[in-house]
Structure 1
Amino acid sequence: MKTDHAPSSVRALTVHAPRAPLSGSVHVPGDKSISHRSLMFAALARGTTHITGLLEGEDVLRTADAMRALGADITREGAGQWCVQGCGLDGLREPADVLDMGNSGTAARLLSGILASHGFTSVMTGDASLRGRPMKRVTDPLAATGATFLSRQGGRLPLAIAGNANPPPLAYRLPMASAQVKSAVLLAGLNAAGETRVEEPVATRDHTENMLRHFGAQVRVEPMGAGGRVITLQGRPDLVARDIVVPGDPSSAAFVLVAALLVPGSKVTVRGVGLNPLRTGLFTSLREMGADLAISNERVEGGEPVGDLTATAGALHGVDVPATRAPSMIDEYPVLAVAAAHATGQSRFRGLEELRVKESDRLAATVALLEANGIKVDVVGDDMIVHGTGGAIPGGGLVETRMDHRLAMSAIVMGLAARKPVSVDDTAFIDTSFPGFVGLMNSIGAGLAA
C-alpha cells in the first residue's frame, strides 16, 4: 500500500531558552490511542460514524490507509473531521497490497488482532524503527485463534498473517501490563463465538473497552487481586456506528505543561485534555514533585473525562514513582525525566522494562538525552535514577532522537529550560503524534526556529 505520509527529510533544531516566560491557552491534537481505535471500530461497525477531533498525525493516517485497504470508506471532511462508512464485522476484504504502518506500533499490534480473525492473508510492514520492534508479544497469544504468522527473525516486521474466519474465543493472561496486547486479543475476540477473557496484572488504559461499549459490544470488567483486572468480551456483537469526539491527548499535553512548569514565570493552559484515570500518571507524579498543575472545566465527552489543565512555573523536588504507575504514563517518562533533571534532589522511576521496546530503546535513549546535557543518571535493573540540578540544567549537548517522536519533544523541552542551547538531530518524526508542535510552542513564546 503506497502512501505519502512519511516524513521526507531530516529536520534538525537547536533550542535556546526563551527570552520571556511562556504564556497562553492552547489545544493539543486529539488523543492518539483513541484516534487509532476510532478508525478501527468505525470500520468494523455497520453504518456511518462521524469523528470529531481526530489526530491527523502520521501514525493515525497510516491506520486510516490500512482500514481503507480493508474495505472501509474513510473520508476527511475538514480539520479533525472524518467520516467512516463501516463494513461490519464480516465485511472486511483482503488488501491488495502490503499494509505500511509507518512508525506506529499501536496500529500494527491492534490491527494484528483484527487480521488474525478474518479469513484472508495480509502483510504488514513499517519504517526502520517499527521493523525493529518486537511483535511476538502479540502474535504468540493470537496464534490461539488458528491464524498463521510468518515474520523476520525475532518476530519482527514484515509480518504475514493468514487469518482464521472462525476463531475460537481466547483466554489469555498478560505476562506484563500492555494495553496494546490486551486490545489485540479483544479485537480478535470480536469475531469469535463465545466469550474472550483477558487478565491483566495491572490496569492499563481502557480506551478499547470504552469504545467497544460505545459501539454496542458487551464488555465486563472485574477487579483482580493486587490492582489487576479481568476483561470479558461477548463475541460476534452487532457493532453499530456511533459518532465520536476525540479528547486532547494527555501524552501530547505533557510536553506543553512540563515546559510551562520549567521556564521561569510561565503560565500556560491546555484546553480539552483527556483525563482518563488510566492515562494521568504523569499529572499525579508532577503534583508529587510540587508542581502547580490545576484542573478546571471538568466534563465528559464521548464517554471519556475531559478538562482544562493550567501549569504555573515553580520549584520542583525529587519523586519516587512506583512501578504500578508505569502503565498510566508509559509514554511520558522521557519528559518527566527532564522535569526531574530540573528538580531539586533525586528522582527514581521504577519498573521501566516496557520502555526498552518503544519506538527506540526509550530507556537507553532517555539516559543518553540527559547525560548529553550534563545530568547524572543511574540505571539499576529496570529503574532509572535522575539526579536533579535544582533548576540548573547545563544543556549544550546533541540529542540523537533515534526516530522517536517523544524523545525529540522531550529534548526540545529540555532546551527551553537549559543554560546552554540543546541540539536535536531530527524533529521530523514529531509529526507522527503531534503535527504542528513547533508552531504551537512558538504561539506560547518558545521562539523555536522553524
Structure 2
Amino acid sequence: MKIFDEIESEVQSYARSFPRVFNRAQGVHMWDEEGNQYLDFLAGAGTLNYGHNNPKFKDALINYIQNDGISHGLDMHTKAKGEFLETFNERILKPRGMEYVVQFTGPTGTNAVEAAMKIARNVTGQSNIVTFTNGFHGVSLGSLAATGNSHHRNAAGVSLNGVHRMPYDGYLGEDIDTTAYLDKVLSDSSSGINSPAAVIVETVQGEGGINAASVEWLQNLQTVCRKHGILLIVDDIQAGCGRTGDYFSFEEAGIEPDIITLSKSLGGYGLPFAVVLMKPEIDQWKPGEHNGTFRGNNLAFVTAKEALDHYWADDTFSKEIKRKGEYIGQRLEAIASQYGEGNFTAKGRGMFRGINCVNGELASKITKKCFQSNLIIETSGADDHIVKFLCPLIISDEDLKKGIDIVEQAIKEVCAKEDSIPEEYDYFDQSHNTNAA
C-alpha cells in the first residue's frame, strides 16, 4: 500500500472505502493479494452488469488481440465498429422500433452528456438545459453544471451556468406532480425561465440516491417537452444496459427520447465506451465538430457486440433481471420494515435498488461492517445516506441471497449497537478476513 500513499492523489475515493490491493476478479467476486475473496455489490459503479472477466466475452477479445485487430481507430471505419453497429441495430433498435443515429464520443459517460447537450443547443439555437434536483451527469464542466451534488459542484472552481434546475419526481412530496410546475414556468413569460434547448433526466437517479421516477411522471415530462418544443434527453448511463430490467430504463414508460446517452456497461467487459443516440433529424453536426481521440475503442466494440449477442438476442435475460429485481425489492422492503424504527425505506427499480438509512453516518457504518464480512457495497445520495445495491446482473440466486443476508446482518448489528465498529478499527488487519480463497 506504500506506493499509493506516496504518489497517488488525495482525490481517490473508493480506495478509502475498500482499502485492499485487489489483483483478480471473476464473475461477482474479487480477490485481494492475500487471497481473500469478496462479493462485489459495487460492480464498477454499474460498469460490470455482466460481471468481471465474463468468459463469454473473453475469448472473442483475446482472439481479436492475437489477430492484431485494430485497437485504436479514431472514427475511421473498422470491422469491429461495423459489427457492433449492425448488432446493436438488430438486437436493440429494430426490435423496439427505434430509429436513431449513433454518435461515438469520448469513452466516458460525461463525454456523452457533453455531446448530447451541445447538439441540443446547436439544433434548437437555445442555450439552457433543464436539469433536476439530485441529478448526476458527470464532472466535466458542462455535465457538472447539470449535476446537483454540491460536493462535486464546489470543486469546479468556476461558475456553472447554462441550466435551469427543476424538482425531480417526489422532491416536493408524493402528491405533487413537478412536471406541472415545469409546464407552468415554461408557459409563463414572466417566470424568468427562458425557452430551454432540452431537458436531461435520469429515470432512476443513482448517485442522487436511487430515486426512481414513476411511469406517469416520465410520460408527463415527455408531454411537457413536446408541448413546448423542447428536446428530451434521457441519461441512461447507469440505469441503462439492463439495470432496471429492460435494455433501456425508459421502456416501461413507453416514452421516446430525442437523445439518449449510454456508457458504463455498454462495453460489456468494463472497457471504456460511450455513445449518444439521437433522432436522425437532430444529427446536424458538421464533420469533426465534436470529436475525441478515444472515440474509436475497438476492443470495447468487440466485447459490446458479444454482450448483445449473448444476453439480448431475446427476452430471457431481461426476464431474469426482473425476477431478481423483485426478489431484491421484497428483501429490502422486509429489512426496512424490520429495522431502523420505521425510518428506513427501500428505493429503486429492477436491480437498481437501495435502502435509505436517513443519515450518512449510519449508512457508512453498515457498509463498513459489510466490508468486514467481505461484501463490497457503496453508499449514494446527497449525504451518502443510501446503501446502494448494484450487483452484476448475472449474479446467481445463491450469491444474491448471500449478499443481502450480509447487509441485513450488518444493519441488525449496527442498529442494535451490539457490535459497533470502533473508529480505530484496522481495516488492514487480515484476521478479519475469513473467506480466503
Q: Normalising by structure 2, report the TM-score.
A: 0.26
Q: Which has the higher contact order (CA 8 A, sep 6+)?
A: 2
Flag the structure with higher strand content.
Answer: 1
Q: Normalising by structure 1, report the TM-score.
A: 0.25
Flag the structure with higher helix content.
Answer: 2
